[in-house]
Structure formats: structure tokens, C-alpha cells
Amino acid sequence: MTLALVIATEAVASGSSPTAGLALRGGSVVGRLLAQLESLDVADRRVITRPEIAGELRELGCDVIESKGLAEDLREIARVARAAAEPMLIVHGDVVAHREVFARLVFNSKAPASAAATRVRPIGDAPSRPVMRIRRGRITSAGTRFHQVTDPNALFRGVLRVSELETATLASVAERFAELVDMPDRLTEISPVRILWAAPDETADTEMEAEAEDTALPAVLGSTPITGDDAPALLLTGLVRSGVKVTGRGSRELVCERVLDQTQAQAAQQAVDAVDEDRVRLNAAVKNNDGFFTTYAVSTYSRYIARWCAKRGWTPNGVTVISMGISVVAAAWFATGHRWGMLLGAVCLYFAFVFDCVDGQLARYSRQFSTLGAWLDATFDRAKEYTVFAGLAVGSTAAAVGSSVHGGDVWYLAIAALTLQTGRHMVDFAFGASERRTPPEPIPVLPLAMQDDSVLDEPEAAKSRPKGGGLSHLAVWLSARSEKVRIFHWFKKIIVLPIGERFALIALTAAIFNAKVTFIALLTWGALAASYTLGGRFMRSLTQPRAARVDA
């Protein structure tokens, strides 16, 4: 469950009516917002507003909490946060967004805190929306009218999610800002943007770029500056300055924008209607870091199978079992020792992999995540390969001597391939576990009253280069740079022999040749992949600062 606080304190510039009450087709802005949250099972929805506009919001059916000013807003947020036992969603009452924007924050965010953002370089020293700087998906500096951000590369869109583990920090930040608001001259307005490095941000996070780069919204949206109190932006700035890991979440195609007059409300409605939200959600179900074979030979259509399964109530675990069953059938065809059996086995193995992709895409599309599902997927991936190895070995000895399928006794090759692949999986798991134990690079804790972020003035471009010298640092730097060249990006994906390429290699060599050729190909390519992977990790380990040993 999630608790939502809707901050509806902004008034239309031309009068005293709330921006949250602006009209949309079929209702008001805040009415649409509350209905979206209700559809996401956000049962506890509270609206904080000013006494002079509370009546209009009550007429719209809102259960409101009256607050006389920013300091009182913050104290009410702190009071709710102190008592909260679930994640909190803090959102402006005049936000018009696709439902999927809120769904991603409510269901898909595992970070301590997340904020709706748009990756864009603000122009001028007085942007119409709060600015921030994002590095590798994490917000490293956030600003308000009272806090400066050096070299911003994103805008805050008025929606903040805080996990239940950080609600106490949220409460402390809100209480401290309430004290500062009440103190004269402690929070004074400044120019929020400072530009030191005009060069493009070479360290921009690729996932954030893919999701939230220069949204194609009507120019009218975001053109009117915010003049009222902005408690969500203050809270975001306070969390970042308190060292909380806050991630930026956005989408190039999805709309999430505050509307401050009726013209903007109508433009936002048109922008929302122009996007096929289900298509965006379906495309997002496909992982953006898949291998070459998966990307071009499976995911081009497997997403539609995932949607078909979702509409019929299928579960990801059920699809995982189907994938395992198809691989058993493939092994049985391979074990026949006939060419037609090898061909049918290759086809079945391909579709076993297709459904292996479908189960993950179905989980992301339908948001059915579970620890059991992750364990089943990883376990059955190994079981499918090893079952096929056994089927190939049986078929090789069962084939007629002299036939193209006959490869003789290849059990020793099958065991060698199984051992190599198991060793690679163990190394991958150990390396991943060691990375998870490494804490993220800390962000300096800054006083909330400090206006600038001068302690963070190191240029982003400089951070992209490895510190130190030597071959290992050069290799790591070149590896990172080569990711921007598409041919090198796919070469690095292919050479490590991911599961898609392994299944394709097994299917093709079995269908054309025999099991002996299949195992020799697996061992050769697998050994090359292991050498490449281990070499790269060794090089990267030499560039990392020496850390204390962490025992399990």
C-alpha cells in the first residue's frame, strides 16, 4: 500500500481559484489525479490546500486538510511521515500525467526515493520548473527558488515517492525546512542555475536518456513559472542533501506536467490523448540491455505474446514452466538420433527461449514480481540448457554410424560444457554479489539552508574519466567510450555469449551438424567469453579503490 499527499496550494495567476480545480474533459485536474491514484490501490489520499480555496476543492469531492502557509504544509507532511508505515507519494494537485507515470513510481521503484524527472538542459537562469542534476540515474543535486544547482540537466515534474525506510528522514527534512521558513532571511530567493561546464554531459545515464530525454510536449506546457509554494521541491532537495539515494524516473513519451492555467490544462489533455499508453508500457516490458539475438530475433514480437498472456490472466511462473516443458520436448527430439529430430529439437529450443523472454516481459508488463519467480527463472534457465545437453549426448550415440547426426560418445564434451557454463554462472553470481555489497558513492551532506552546491563543483565530464593511470585505467575508459559506438556495443554483447546467443548456437549447430560440433562450438566460444569477461573484471578491479573485506 502507498499513502498519497496531494499538495494543492497553487492558485491560478489570474484569480484565486486553485490550479488543481482546472477543468479537464470529464472532470477537474485533481479529480483525475485522485482517480488515477485510486486505480493503483492508493487508498489513503489526503489533499493539503489553503483555506481560501478549500471550499472549491471540497465541492469537487476532495477530503482536504487546510493549511495557512508553507511552514504549516511542511509540518503536516512531517506529522504524516512520522506515523507512516508505508511508502509515501507526494504530488502536486495540478499535475496532469499518464497513469503509467504513477504506476512506475508506486510499483516499480525499489530505490529509497524516486522523483518524476525530464532529462533536459534548462535554458536561462530562471527556469519555469525546479532543476536538478542527475548522474547515472541518481539525483546528485536538486534545487528550488532558494537552492542553486550547478550544471543542471533535468527538471523536476512535481511527483516524489519515498519508501517506508526513509519516511523518518522525510519527516526530519520537512520539520527542518518548516523552521527555516519561519526564520526571517534564512531562505532567500536566488538564481537557481549556475553553468560552469558548457560541454555536453558525457556521463549521462543511458537508461535515463532512453526514458526521459527532451519530451515532445507542446511548447505551452512548462512555459509559465511557478510562483506559489513548492513543498515537494523542497522535500526533494532536502532528501538529496541528506544523503538519501533519490533516482530520477521519467519517460520520453509519457506526459507528467504541472498545469497552471486553463490553456496548459487543455494542452496537457491533448498531449495525454496523443500517446498510446499501453504501447509505451508494453515496450518498457522489454529490457533495454538484452543481447543482440534476443533484441532482434525474439523481442520484436515476444512482447505481444506477453500482452496476450496478460489479458488471459496467465502468470509469469506459469510461462516459465511452459518454457521448461518446451525445452524438455526439444531434448527428447535431439535424443532421437535422426536429422528430422535435430531440426524439430532446434525449433523447440528456439521457442523455449522465446517463452523464457516472455515470462520476464509478462512480469514487467503485468507487474507480477516475486522472489519465487526470480528463483524459478534462474533455476530453469540452467535446467533447460543441461537437459538439452543430455538430449544431444544421447542422440549422438543413438544415431546410425556414418550418418551426419552421429558424433560418437560425446558425454565427456557435454560434461565439459556443463562444467564451463556452471563455472561461469558461479563467477557471475559472485561478482554480482560483491558489487551489491559495495555501497554507492556517497553524496556530501549539505545544510538545508545553504543556497549553493559548491562542494559538488567537479565537472561531470571529468568524472567520466578513470582516476589514475596505467593500462587498466585506459582499458576501462576505452570500454566505456566504446559503448557509444553501436557496432562495438553489440560486439561486446555478443562476445560474452549470453543465453540468447547460446541457445541460438545450440539450435543452429545441432540442426546443421551434430552434437559433437555443438559442444565443441560451445566450449570454444564459452572459453573465449570467459577469458574476455574475467579479463575485463580484473581490469576494472584494479581501478577501484581498495575496500575493506566484507565477509558473508
The secondary structure of 65-126, three-state, reads EECCCHHHHHHHHHHHHHHCCCCEEEEECCEEECHHHHHHHHHCCCCCEEEEEEECCCCCCC
Reply yes or no on whether the pLDDT at 366 is more than 70. yes
| Total domain count, the chain | 2
pLDDT of residue 256 exceeding 90: yes
Q: What are phi and psi of 191, to 5 degrees?
A: -75, 120
Global pTM value: 0.86
- 472-526: pLDDT as tens digits: 777 777 777 888 888 999 999 999 999 999 999 999 999 999 999 999 999 999 9
Same domain for 266 and 307, yes or no, is no
C-alpha 277/C-alpha 462 separation (Å) is 38
What is the reported pLDDT for 546?
53
Whether 22 shows a pLDDT value over 90: the answer reads yes
Q: What is the pLDDT of residues 292-329, one digit of tens each?
A: 999 999 999 999 999 999 999 999 999 999 999 999 99
pLDDT at 16 > cutoff 90: no
157 belongs to a structural domain: yes
Residues 346 and 279 placed together within one structural domain of the fold: no
- Determine the distance from the C-alpha atom of residue 241 to the mean position of all C-alpha atoms in its chain, rounded to a whole number: 22
Same domain, yes or no: 278 and 357: no
* Exposed e or buried b per residue across 254-293, where buried means at least 16 C-beta atoms within 10 angstroms of its C-beta: bbbbbbbbeebbbbbbebbeebebeeebbebbbeeebbbb
88 and 105 Cβ atoms separated by less than 8 Å: no
Same domain, 276 and 305: no
Question: Do 520 and 413 contact (CB within 8 A), yes or no?
Answer: yes
257, 284, 311 — which closes off a domain?
A: 284
Same domain, 256 and 117: yes
Instruction: Indicate whether 155 belongs to any domain.
Output: yes
Tens of pLDDT, residue by residue over 434-464, are: 666 666 677 788 899 998 887 765 544 445 4
| Whether 478 and 518 share a structural domain | yes
- Give yes or no: residues 306 and 371 share one domain: yes
Domain end: 236, 260, 284, which one? 284
Tell whether 252 and 374 lie within a shared domain: no
- How much of the chain exceeds pLDDT 70, in percent? 88
Higher pLDDT among residues 496 and 221, named by residue: 496
Sorting pLDDT into bands at 50, 70 and 90, what band is 208?
A: very low
Find the domain containing 400 and state its range: 299-543
Please report, for the domain that includes residue 36, its CATH number: 3.90.550.10
Whether residue 327 lies inside any domain: the answer is yes
Mean pLDDT in residue range 274-291: 94
pLDDT for position 475 = 75
CA proximity to 19, closest of 212, 158, 191, 126: 158
Same domain, 7 and 81: yes
Q: Is residue 551 part of a domain?
A: no
Domain boundary among 234, 250, 284: 284
Same domain? For 359 and 256 the reply is no
- CATH value at residue 420: 1.20.120.1760
190 within some domain: yes
Average confidence (pLDDT) over 60-86: 92
Ranking 70-79, 136-145, 327-336, 338-347 by mean pLDDT, the lowest is 136-145
Q: Which of 46-50, 146-150, 216-220, 378-382 has the lowest mean pLDDT?
A: 216-220
Residue 534 lies in a domain: yes
* Same domain for 319 and 274: no
pLDDT mean over 318-345: 97
30 falls within a domain: yes
pLDDT band at 244 (very low <50, low <70, confident <90, very high): very high
- Considering the domain architecture, whether residues 375 and 489 belong to the same structural domain is answered as yes
Q: What angle do CA 75, 79, 82 make, to 5 degrees?
A: 135
Q: Which three-class secondary structure state does DSSP give residue 337? A: coil
pLDDT in tens, 378-432: 999 999 999 999 999 999 999 999 999 999 999 999 999 999 999 998 888 877 7
Share of the chain above pLDDT 90, in %: 65
Provide mean pLDDT across the span 222-226. Answer: 69
Kindly state whether residue 292 falls inside one of the protein's structural domains: no
